[in-house]
C-alpha cells in the first residue's frame, strides 16, 4: 500500500505568506528611507570635513594659502571648491576652483543652509595650517549637522541636541548657535 503525500503549498498558505511579507515590508520602508537620508547627509558632511583637512594640508605643502569657497543651496544645488586664490566660483561652468570642486548634486536631497563667515570663504594659512573660525550647516528633511573649523585649523562635526540630531556625532556645545531646519 502506497501513501499519497502532497507536494507544495495550498493557495491559502501562499496567500497568508504574501500578506505577512507585505505587512513586514510596509513597516520597513519608512525606516529604510530614514536610513538613506541619514547616510546621504553623513556622506556630504564627511566629504566637506575631509576636504577641509585636505585644504589645510595643501596650504602647508604648496606654501601658499588655500581658500575654500562655499555656496549655500537646497536639494543638491550647493557646492564648494578649493583654490589657491582668494576666491573661486564653484557654481560656474567650468568651475574656477583650481584644486577641487564638489557639487551638491552628488548628494541629492541635502542642503547647505548656512555658511559662516557669510562670504562663504574660509582660508587656511600656509605657515601653520591655521584658519579663521567657520561653520557650515547641512540639513535634510529630518536631520541637521554642522561642520566647524576653529582658529587652529581643526575640523569637527557636531549635531543638534534635539529631534533633528544626526546620530553618530557629538552634540554642539550649549553656547553655540545651532543649525535649524
The SS3 assignment for 136 reads strand
Give Cα 33 to chain centroid, integer Å. 16
State pLDDT tens for residues 150-179. Answer: 999 999 999 988 888 888 899 988 766 667
Nearest of 53, 58, 62 to residue 152 by alpha carbon: 53
Q: What are phi and psi of 30, to 5 degrees?
A: -60, -40
Output the pLDDT for position 25. Answer: 79
State pLDDT tens for residues 106-141. Answer: 999 999 988 888 777 899 999 999 998 999 999 999
C-alpha cell at 179: 543649525
Q: How many whole angstroms separate alpha carbon 138 and alpha carbon 159?
A: 10
Residue-averaged pLDDT of the chain: 88
> The pTM is what?
0.82
Domain architecture of the chain: domains with CATH: 11-171 (3.55.40.10)
Question: Quick one: DSSP state of residue 142?
Answer: S
Q: What are phi and psi of 119, to 5 degrees?
A: -65, -20
State pLDDT tens for residues 15-42. Answer: 999 989 888 878 767 778 888 999 999 9
Using pLDDT thresholds of 50, 70 and 90, give the confidence band for residue 6: low
Nearest of 104, 98, 105 to residue 136 by alpha carbon: 104
Amino acid at each position: 500500500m502506497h501513501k499519497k503525500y502532497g507536494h507544495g503549498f495550498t493557495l491559502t498558505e501562499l496567500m497568508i505568506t504574501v500578506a505577512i511579507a507585505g505587512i513586514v515590508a510596509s513597516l520597513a520602508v519608512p525606516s529604510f528611507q530614514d536610513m538613506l537620508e541619514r547616510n546621504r547627509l553623513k556622506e556630504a558632511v564627511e566629504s566637506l570635513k575631509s576636504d577641509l583637512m585636505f585644504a589645510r594640508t595643501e596650504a602647508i605643502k604648496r606654501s601658499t594659502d588655500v581658500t575654500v569657497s562655499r555656496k549655500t543651496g537646497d536639494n543638491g544645488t550647493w557646492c564648494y571648491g578649493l583654490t589657491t586664490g582668494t576666491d573661486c566660483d564653484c557654481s560656474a561652468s567650468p568651475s574656477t576652483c583650481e584644486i577641487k570642486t564638489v557639487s551638491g548634486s552628488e548628494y541629492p536631497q541635502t542642503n547647505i543652509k548656512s555658511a559662516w563667515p557669510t562670504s562663504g570663504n574660509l582660508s587656511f594659512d600656509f605657515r601653520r595650517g591655521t584658519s579663521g573660525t567657520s561653520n557650515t550647516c547641512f540639513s535634510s528633511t529630518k536631520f541637521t549637522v554642522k561642520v566647524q573649523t576653529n582658529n587652529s585649523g581643526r575640523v569637527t562635526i557636531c549635531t543638534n541636541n534635539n529631534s533633528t540630531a544626526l546620530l553618530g556625532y557629538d552634540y554642539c556645545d550649549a553656547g553655540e548657535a545651532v543649525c535649524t531646519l
